[in-house]
Amino acid sequence: MSMAGLVILDCWVSPFCMRVKIALNEKGLQYEARPEDLFGGKSDLLLNSNPIYKKVPVFLHDGKPLCESSIIVAYIDETWSSPPLHPPCSYGRAQARFWADYIDKKVFDACGNIWRSKGEVPVEAKTEFIEILKQLEGALGDKEYFNGATFGFVDIVAIPLTSWFFAVEKIGGFSVAAECPKFSSWMKRCLQRESVAKVMPDPEKVYESVLMFRKMQGID
C-alpha cells in the first residue's frame, strides 16, 4: 500500500477519529480512512505508528504518524491554512485550547459514567453530565459556534462526542434537548454542515454498539 498522501487509521464509532475526518473535510482534503478492528486485532501499522497508546486515530501524512486527535486537528489547521479553524489572535486561541481541553477531560468520561452503569443509573452521574453541558452552553454564549461566527476547532472537538448522546439518553432516561436547549441547537447547526454530516454515524447504530460494549464488559 502506498504511504503517500493522507491516511487515517480509523474506527467508525470513535468520536476521536470523527474529529480528524471533519477537520480534513473542512479543509477540502482527500484522504483514505482505513478501518481498524480494535477488538479482533489491531494492524501492525497502528501498533508501529502509535506504540505509546496503541489507539486510533492515527493520522499519517506521507507516512509520518501523528497521534492524539486534538493535536492532529491542530496540525491539520497549521499545515493547511484555509479555511482557518482557530481564532486569529493569541488570546482567542488560548480560550479555544482551554475549552478543547475541558471537553477532552470531561465529556467522554461523563458519558461513560452513564452508559457503563449496572442497573439504575445514579442521579449524580446524570447531574454531572448535564452540568458539563451547561458549562459548555456558558462558553458558547450567544455565538453561532464555539469558534464564533464560523465553525472551528472547539466545534470540531465537541460535535463528534454528541453522536454518543442518543445512547446516553436512552440508558440514562433523560433528554439533552430538554435540559440544554442551547447546546441542542448548536448540535443541530453543526449537523447541517456537510463536513460533519458525512462523518457522524447514525445514533441508533452507536446505541447498538454501546449495548454490545456493555455485554463485552459484563455489565449486561
Partner 1 sequence: MEGEVVLLDFWPSMFGMRTRIALAEKQIKYEYREEDLRNKSALLLQMNPVHKKIPVLIHNGKPICESLIQVQYIDEVWNDRAPLLPPNPYQRATARFWADFVDKKIYDLGAKVWRTKGEEQEAAKKELIECLKLLEGQLGDNPYFGGKDFGFVDVALVPFYCWFYTYEKFGSFSIEAECPKLIAWAKRCMQKESVAKSLADQEKIYDFVLHLKKALGIEDEVAKETVRAAETAGFFRVVNFMDSAILYIKVKWGILSSSMVRSSCKVIALLEGHAHQRAQEVSKFRL
Task: Give how far Cα 86 sits from Cα of 57, 97, 99, 108, Å.
Answer: 21, 9, 12, 23
- Whichever of 129 and 200 has its CB closer to partner 1, that residue is 129
Nearer Cβ to partner 1, position 10 or 77? 77
Q: How far is the CB of 127 from partner 1 (least distance, A)?
A: 9
| CA dihedral for 181, 185, 187, 188, sign (positive or negative) | positive
The cell for 49 is: 505508528
Q: Based on CB atoms, which residue is closest to partner 1, 48 or 217?
A: 217
Q: How far is the CB of 90 from partner 1 (least distance, A)?
A: 4
Site of interaction with partner 1 (CB under 8 A)? 52, 61, 64, 66-68, 71-72, 74-75, 78-79, 90-91, 93-94, 97-98, 101-102, 112-113, 116-118, 122-125, 135, 217
C-alpha 71/C-alpha 84 separation (Å) is: 15
Residue 22 or 196 having the CB closest to partner 1: 22
CA atoms within 13 Å, Cβ hemisphere of 58: 24
